[in-house]
Every structure is written in structure tokens, then in C-alpha cells.
Amino acid sequence: MSEKQPCTYRQTRFHRFHGYNLSLHEQDTVAHREMSFANAIVFSEQSLSPGEVFLIEIESSENGWSGHIRLGLTQLDPDALQRSGHLLPQCAIPDMVSNKTMGESWICALTKHQAWYDANYLTNYFRLDGNHVFTSRGTFPTSILKSSGHEKMDILPTDVGSRVGVLYLPCGQNMAVMHFIINGEFVVPLSRTIPYNDGPIRAVIDVYGATKRVRVIQVYNVNSLQSACRETILKNIKAASVSKLPLPNALKEYLLYKT
């Protein structure tokens, strides 16, 4: 009998092709705009399956700019763009939405106030059930969708610490609806005309305006108390400071995703 292999998890990351004002950190899980207010578009590394949630947290902001992060879905292929030598546009809105020659995109600007509704989904791809969310990629606790350390009414969607997720759900033959989940609450559906069978769909983020830095939240990696503790530690210290912690080397390597 062959030895049973341990369960493996694919870490969710940003794609390495991005706007020239953006830099990636911590194994491509953090996107930081270095200067100005634009040229900071980035994609999910992998395409999303129906019902799969791509979740980010706003880590820092910068005063003096108007507008905030833009988020959505796209059929634009960053690998093909990189091979062809194309540069990404300055802004996701309106550039990516209006120019469909490279692929269609469905993107919305995040504002301080959104229209909420009580979602009660029960589909083959996404299901809310008490304290857990069941999706096409895996199951995770609903608590991970909420901003840590804030009460529901205590944080605005554009604040530092806010968690924003995007997903799409089929609603007919080759048509899907794009949804946002902001700090655990559903936003009124944003687009109903996504032809999801026409090509791979990725999440797209524009670290725009007052939003300065965002982090991918590992929704599907939280399979143990140990991994949850790692996420909490890395939210409170910089990765460069892990080596100074009074911990065994094996734990330090785990915190840095080296094991």
C-alpha cells in the first residue's frame, strides 16, 4: 500500500506582472504602491473558479489623494501581456473597462458607503451555512471575511483594516454575477453579464488614490490553529523582524512560508 500523501494547499498570491508604480512583497502576497496615485494595477496569480473568493485587506493609506482602491474581475491575460511587452494602463477605471481589445473587465471603485443586502446563497459553487462558507475551492470560517479588531459598524469599506472579497456566481448559460463581500457583508450585485465560459477570469486590483498597500488574505489556507496564529503574527510585525523573535528556527521558517 502506498503511503498517504499529506494535504497540500496552494497559497493565493498576486501575479508578478503589474503596474510600474507597484512593488510586491512577502512572497507576492502584499502589493504596495511606491509613489503617485496610479499605475498600480495587479492581478490574482491564478484564475478563479466560480464561487472562489479572492480576499484582500487594506493595510495602509495615504492622505492627499482622492478616490480609493478599485476591484473586480477580468478576462485579460497578464501572462500574454507580459510576453508581448505591453504596459498596463494608468488606471483600471476607465482604461480597462472601456478598452476591450485585450479582454473584458468588470471593475468597481470602492467607496466609503456601499449598498448592503442579506445574502442567503445556496448553489453548487457557494453556500453560506452558519459559521462556515462552502465554495468550489474549499471551506473556510465566515470570521475570516471580517476585519479583525473592529466591530461591524466601526469600520468603513475604505479604512485600513477593511477586508474586501470578490467572486462570481453563474446565473444562467455562460452568464455570471460579480459580488463583493466587505467585512463579512454582501454588497448588492455589481454585474450580471460576465460570460465566464469565454476565458479564464482573474481578480484585478488597482491600488489607487488614498489606498496605499493591500495584502492577500489566505482564505483557503486556514486549516489549523497554527496557520491562523501565523496570520495574526504577520499582521502585527514585519516579515523582516521574524528573525529577531525568540522562537526556534523551525517556527521562524514556518512564519515566513519556507516550510
> What single letter denotes the amino acid at residue 29?
T
Across the range 66-80, mean pLDDT stands at 95
* Residue 134 reports pLDDT greater than 80: yes
More reliable by pLDDT, 27 or 232: 27
Considering the chain, what percentage of its residues have pLDDT values greater than 90?
Answer: 54
Nearest Cα to Cα of residue 256 among 11, 70, 76: 11
* 103 Ramachandran zone, left/alpha/beta (phi>0; psi -120 to 50): left
Q: CB of 165 within 8 A of CB of 174? A: no
pLDDT tens per residue across span 208-222:
999 999 999 999 865
More reliable by pLDDT, 140 or 207: 207
Considering the chain, what percentage of its residues have pLDDT values greater than 70?
Answer: 86
Say whether pTM exceeds 0.85.
Answer: no
* Residue 6 reports pLDDT greater than 50: no
Q: Would you report the helix, strand and coil content of the chain in percent, each value rounded to 5?
A: 20, 30, 50
pLDDT tens per residue across span 149-169:
555 557 899 999 999 999 999
pLDDT tens per residue across span 81-111:
999 988 899 999 999 998 888 789 999 999 8
